[in-house]
Amino acid sequence: MMRLESLAAPDGAHKGKKRVGRGTGSGHGKTSTRGHKGQWARGSVRPGFEGGQTPLQRRLRKMKGISKTAMNIGIFRKEYAIINVGQLDRFAANTVITPELLVQTGIVRELRDGLRVLGGGELTKPLTVSAHHFSASAAEKIAAAGGRTEVL
């Protein structure tokens, strides 16, 4: 019967760490795999030095601007919950749809920084929709169905 403690890795599976600078008998003594002379042998190379080639931090493009609107990144970015107009068609006519109602019914999982309504799909019933942002096509479709939009 095979037991857990009898398992062993096959021969050659674990290779020992290379130990340099431990005498000539090891094969890695004297210069310790650094070659002869030069800055690489003397340990005077600064971190990030690429042998004179233009280093990575200078090859990459720069981010323009320092204002919070520049490239809209970081802690200032807004994460909206998104819903399409077609998903609102499941509600009864003349229903007042709020972000809290959408979370309650499970259409939107979490609101984050607000609710954004986009114009995908078709709407056949008049609804009153409250949200933080409406795309132009979404507002147009809601109005065409006889509904109203309220920006929070």
- pLDDT tens track for 103-118: 888 888 888 888 899 9
Mean pLDDT across 32-50: 89
Q: Note whether residue 16 is domain-resident.
A: no
pLDDT 10s digits, 122-138: 888 888 888 999 999 99
Within a domain: residue 28? no
CA 125 to chain centre: 37
User: What whole-number distance in Å separates Cα of residue 145 and Cα of residue 125?
Assistant: 6
Domain membership flag for residue 132: yes
Instruction: Establish if 46 belongs to a structural domain.
Output: no
What CATH number did the domain enclosing 131 receive? 3.100.10.10
The number of domains in the chain is: 1
Q: Please report whether residue 21 resides in a domain.
A: no
Owning domain of residue 102: 78-151
Domain assignment present for 52: no
Q: Is residue 43 part of a domain?
A: no
In this structure, is residue 92 part of a structural domain?
yes
